[in-house]
């Protein structure tokens, strides 16, 4: 069947697709998929026990575990829920960075971004920076094992998918955009990157979410703009679910589902004020689901601490390859499985906003170290100012004295050097226990572990970035901000109150 015909008939036909009907496989289609060419017949292969397993990574941008299977009843995610029911759902998976380029630089190399000079967001964009030997993009190892490698943008199988690394690979990182381009019987390592959960969000018009019913975290003010923005994010997850369902159905149609290890995860946390770019749970905790027929028990829930640095060694091991010695992650599958006591994450310069944070998290506790404690949490960042309506809400309400103590804390002029949280008792990370004598010893243990990690991994954040590069990034950020505000017919110096009115008009009508 041609792909465009498949996409027209999958589930219950074109008219029903537009109506958002469901099938027995719980795949819900809420919008028509784009037209695309059929796959060459020579690449359509059937499952064979003797063939090496294929690997498919489904990667969504800026996503926390906010799906139905993770306990959010407001979000309709039948396809992701089904994937979890057919495999293992991981409840404690974490990105090594709360922003895409640094995070992706890690999971595509199996090396912490701080170890390979890839820790500053969108760094080395034009200078041709190469990975330090022997580090390589993991597709290189799959190629050597005879795998075809591909990366596409969502259901646009002819369009290359997101890479956004803070380095320049030595050659083409992928062989193509679609696994159908491989030789007959050739195994594949494929990525499909989904962008609808990145701002600006793709709304789900067929299954809208009522803003009045969303559950906001206590560190956000209850305001119509905040509610509408949060609902839009959740709707984008529903759109993501639809596209994942189509991709999984096509894998099934090709007869490859039974011989493919599927990993679904988010590249970093959700794009909200206290989440993305921060080391709180909302910035680094990501969804992670693995389906491996015959090897991973159906309906498994795994609470082990997992880091995205573990993905490279795990999936190389899954196809029988010994991970290179330099790779820093753990293999989390099989007989050689290793479990973690701690995960580590880092945030450095994002665009022109200079900052440095490090954190270590155990099952119950998290320690965050702020190296720029003299700076506010909300020091200027053009991306946040342009894209986060809740930030405008908080800035206005803070001046009016209308934020709660938990909300106002994030608007303070300075930060504590250290933050320590009991995640079991305080999952929203609101009560800093760093100065509580009761937690002194456990805090010291976490602080020591962080120091050991910084030293053992050769954290390059210890060396300040070249001031010339920082100046370039800050100037570029300032230019982009001015140009973007002018396109909105707004002055770059518009008052907080005036800017909030603009957001209210945009989001609420």
Whether residue 101 is contained in a domain is answered as: yes
Q: Residue 336's pLDDT is what?
A: 84
Q: Which two tokens stand for residue 499?
A: 């800017």
- In the chain, the number of structural domains is 1
Could you tell me how far CA 216 lies from the centroid of its own chain?
20
Average pLDDT over residues 331-346: 94
Q: Is the dihedral of CA 486, 492, 494, 497 positive or negative?
A: positive
Q: Pick the range with the lowest mean pLDDT from 22-31, 280-289, 299-308, 321-330.
A: 22-31
CATH code of the domain containing 165:
3.40.720.10
* Phi (first) and psi of residue 153, to 5 degrees: -95, 100
User: Could you give the dihedral angle defined by the CA atoms of residues 425, 427, 433 and 439, in that order, rounded to the nearest 10 degrees?
Assistant: 50
Average pLDDT over residues 329-336: 90
Class of residue 119 by CB neighbours under 10 A (exposed 0-12, middle 13-18, buried 19+): buried
User: Could you give the dihedral angle defined by the CA atoms of residues 377, 379, 381 and 387, in that order, rounded to the nearest 10 degrees?
Assistant: 60
60 vs 287: CA distance, rounded Å: 9
Q: Residue 170's pLDDT is what?
A: 87
Of all residues in the chain, what percent are helix, strand and coil, respectively (each to 5)? 35, 15, 50
Whether residue 389 is contained in a domain is answered as: no
* Phi (first) and psi of residue 493, to 5 degrees: -105, 20
Average pLDDT over residues 293-322: 97
* Phi (first) and psi of residue 399, to 5 degrees: -65, -30
Statement: residue 84 has pLDDT above 60: yes
Whether residue 228 is contained in a domain is answered as: yes
Statement: residue 3 has pLDDT above 90: no
Whether residue 310 is contained in a domain is answered as: yes
Average pLDDT over residues 135-149: 98
150 vs 500: CA distance, rounded Å: 43
Q: Residue 204's pLDDT is what?
A: 97
Whether residue 108 is contained in a domain is answered as: yes
Whether residue 489 is contained in a domain is answered as: no
Q: Pick the range with the lowest mean pLDDT from 17-21, 152-156, 433-437, 492-496.
A: 17-21
Whether residue 472 is contained in a domain is answered as: no
Domain ranges, residue 16: 1-341
> Is the bond preceding 200 in cis, omega lying within 30 degrees of 0?
yes
The residue to which tokens 């926390």 are assigned: 64
307: β partners: 94
261: β partners: 55
Statement: residue 45 has pLDDT above 50: no
Q: Residue 33's pLDDT is what?
A: 36
Statement: residue 459 has pLDDT above 60: yes
Statement: residue 115 has pLDDT above 60: yes
Q: Residue 367's pLDDT is what?
A: 99
Statement: residue 186 has pLDDT above 70: yes
Whether residue 397 is contained in a domain is answered as: no
* Phi (first) and psi of residue 158, to 5 degrees: -95, -10
Class of residue 132 by CB neighbours under 10 A (exposed 0-12, middle 13-18, buried 19+): middle
Average pLDDT over residues 368-378: 97
Q: Where are the alpha helices (DSSP H) in 220-319?
A: 224-253, 281-284, 311-318
163 vs 174: CA distance, rounded Å: 10
Of 184, 40, 162, nearest in space to 100 by CA: 162
Read off the pLDDT band of 125 (50, 70, 90): confident
Q: Pick the range with the lowest mean pLDDT from 280-294, 328-342, 356-370.
A: 328-342
Q: Residue 184's pLDDT is what?
A: 94
Q: Tell me the CA distances in angstroms from 471 to 221, 347, 468, 475, one per residue in order.
A: 34, 19, 5, 6
289 vs 347: CA distance, rounded Å: 25
247 vs 242: CA distance, rounded Å: 9
410 vs 429: CA distance, rounded Å: 11
Read off the pLDDT band of 217 (50, 70, 90): very high
Q: Residue 124's pLDDT is what?
A: 84
Residues that are catalytic: 100
Q: Residue 127's pLDDT is what?
A: 84
Question: Mind listing the pLDDT tens digit for each residue in 19-44?
Answer: 223 322 322 223 333 333 344 333 34
Statement: residue 305 has pLDDT above 90: yes
Q: What is the largest CA-CA distance in the chain?
A: 68
Question: At a CB cut-off of 8 Å and minimum separation 6, what does 184 contact?
Answer: 42, 43, 45
Statement: residue 393 has pLDDT above 80: yes
Mean pLDDT of the chain: 91
Read off the pLDDT band of 334 (50, 70, 90): confident
Statement: residue 340 has pLDDT above 50: yes
Angle at 312 (CA atoms; ends 309, 313), nearest 5 degrees: 100
167 vs 131: CA distance, rounded Å: 6
290 vs 88: CA distance, rounded Å: 5
Q: Residue 11's pLDDT is what?
A: 35
92 vs 71: CA distance, rounded Å: 14
């Amino acid at each position: 069947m041609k792909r465009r015909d498949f996409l027209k008939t999958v589930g219950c036909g074109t008219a029903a697709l537009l109506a958002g009907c469901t099938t027995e496989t719980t795949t819900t289609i809420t919008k028509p998929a784009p037209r695309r060419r059929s796959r060459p017949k020579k690449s359509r292969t059937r499952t064979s026990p003797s063939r090496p397993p294929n690997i498919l990574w489904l990667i969504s941008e800026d996503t926390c575990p906010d799906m139905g299977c993770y306990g959010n009843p407001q979000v309709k995610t039948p396809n992701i829920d089904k994937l979890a029911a057919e495999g293992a759902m991981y409840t404690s998976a974490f990105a090594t960075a709360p922003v895409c380029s640094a995070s992706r630089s890690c999971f595509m190399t199996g090396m912490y971004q701080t170890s390979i000079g890839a820790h500053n967001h969108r760094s080395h964009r034009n200078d041709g920076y190469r990975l330090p030997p022997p580090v390589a993009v993991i597709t290189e190892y799959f190629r050597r094992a005879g795998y075809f490698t591909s990366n596409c943008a969502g259901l646009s199988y002819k369009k290359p998918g997101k890479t956004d690394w803070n380095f320049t690979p030595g050659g083409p990182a992928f062989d193509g955009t679609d696994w159908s381009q491989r030789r007959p019987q050739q195994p594949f390592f494929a990525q499909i990157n989904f962008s609808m959960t990145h701002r600006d969000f793709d709304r789900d018009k067929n299954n809208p979410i009522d803003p009045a019913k969303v559950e906001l975290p206590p560190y956000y003010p209850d305001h119509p703009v905040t509610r509408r923005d949060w609902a839009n994010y959740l709707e984008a997850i529903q759109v993501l679910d639809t596209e994942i369902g189509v991709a999984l159905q096509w894998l099934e149609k090709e007869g490859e589902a039974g011989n493919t290890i599927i990993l679904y995860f988010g590249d970093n946390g959700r794009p909200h004020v206290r989440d993305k770019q921060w080391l709180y749970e909302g910035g680094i905790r990501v969804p992670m689901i693995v389906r491996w027929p015959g090897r991973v028990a159906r309906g498994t829930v795994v609470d082990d601490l997992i880091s995205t640095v573990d993905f490279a060694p795990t999936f190389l091991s899954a196809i029988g390859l010994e991970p290179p010695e330099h790779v820093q992650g753990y293999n989390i599958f099989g007989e050689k499985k290793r479990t973690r006591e701690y995960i580590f994450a880092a945030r450095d310069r994002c665009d022109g906003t200079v900052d440095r944070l490090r954190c270590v998290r155990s099952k119950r506790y998290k320690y965050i170290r702020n190296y720029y404690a003299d700076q506010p949490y909300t020091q200027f960042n053009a991306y946040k100012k342009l894209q986060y309506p809740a930030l405008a809400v908080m800035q206005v309400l803070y001046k009016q004295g209308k934020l709660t103590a938990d909300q106002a804390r994030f608007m303070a002029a300075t930060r504590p050097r250290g933050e320590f949280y009991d995640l079991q008792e305080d999952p929203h990370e609101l009560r800093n226990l760093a100065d509580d004598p009761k937690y002194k010893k456990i805090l010291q243990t976490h602080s020591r572990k962080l120091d050991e990690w910084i030293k053992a991994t050769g954290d390059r954040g210890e060396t300040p970035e070249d001031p010339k590069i920082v100046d370039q990034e800050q100037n570029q950020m300032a230019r982009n901000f001015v140009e973007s505000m002018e396109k909105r017919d707004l002055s770059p110096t518009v008052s907080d109150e005036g800017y909030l009115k603009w957001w209210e008009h945009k989001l609420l009508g």
